[in-house]
Amino acid sequence: MHVSKTADSNGLNAFVFYVFLQPLSLFLAAVAWAHWASDVLYRCTDCTFEILDIIPPFVHAGTGDVYLVSAWRVWASWGCLITAAVGLPLLATWYLWRLDSCNEP
């Protein structure tokens, strides 16, 4: 007896795969932001745990925090990084789901 996959099981597998990849992707984005943006795009003096620098606001009022480049460049860079962190796992999930769907009998 041959059991074939249904579209529902493929969709569920794709969802589980995406949910597995998303935290990893966001963690890697946070590490990249901590090493690439902090003290390059802005200086935050009150951050104690650098990986949390990815959470806005980047410059806090009433402290010694300053933008080293224009604020819109910091926000645009952050937006691109977050878009990539959400989009790349989504793209990988879509690709594997399509590949799996094409291989069905």
Residue 32 belongs to some domain of the structure: yes
pLDDT tens digits, 49-84: 888 889 998 988 888 899 999 999 999 999 999 999
Q: What is the pLDDT of residue 3?
A: 44
- On whether residue 77 sits in a domain, the answer given is yes
18 inside domain = yes
pLDDT band for position 32 (cuts 50, 70, 90) = very high
Name residues whose C-beta falls within 8 Å of residue 38's C-beta, 6 or more positions apart in sequence. 44, 47, 50, 53
What stretches of 1-105 show up as alpha helix (H) in DSSP?
Answer: 7-36, 71-102
86: β partners? none
Whether residue 3 is contained in a domain is answered as: no
Is the preceding peptide bond at 105 cis, omega within 30 degrees of 0?
no
The predicted model scores a pTM of 0.79
- Residue 49's pLDDT is 82
DSSP code, position 35: H
- Is the pLDDT score of 105 beyond 90? no
Number of folded domains in the chain?
1
* Residue 4 falls inside a structural domain: no
Residue located via tokens 């099981």: 9
Is there a contact between 17 and 96 (Cβ–Cβ < 8 Å)? yes
Asked if residue 63 is part of any domain, the answer here is yes
Structural domain includes residue 2: no
For residue 25, tell me if it sits in a domain: yes
What confidence category does residue 10 fall into, taking pLDDT thresholds of 50, 70 and 90?
low
Residue type, 39: D
Percent of the chain whose predicted confidence (pLDDT) is above 70? 83
Q: Which domain holds residue 35?
A: 9-102
Compute the Cα dihedral for 84, 86, 90, 93 and give only its sign: positive
Write down the pLDDT at residue 99: 75
pLDDT band at 26 (very low <50, low <70, confident <90, very high): very high
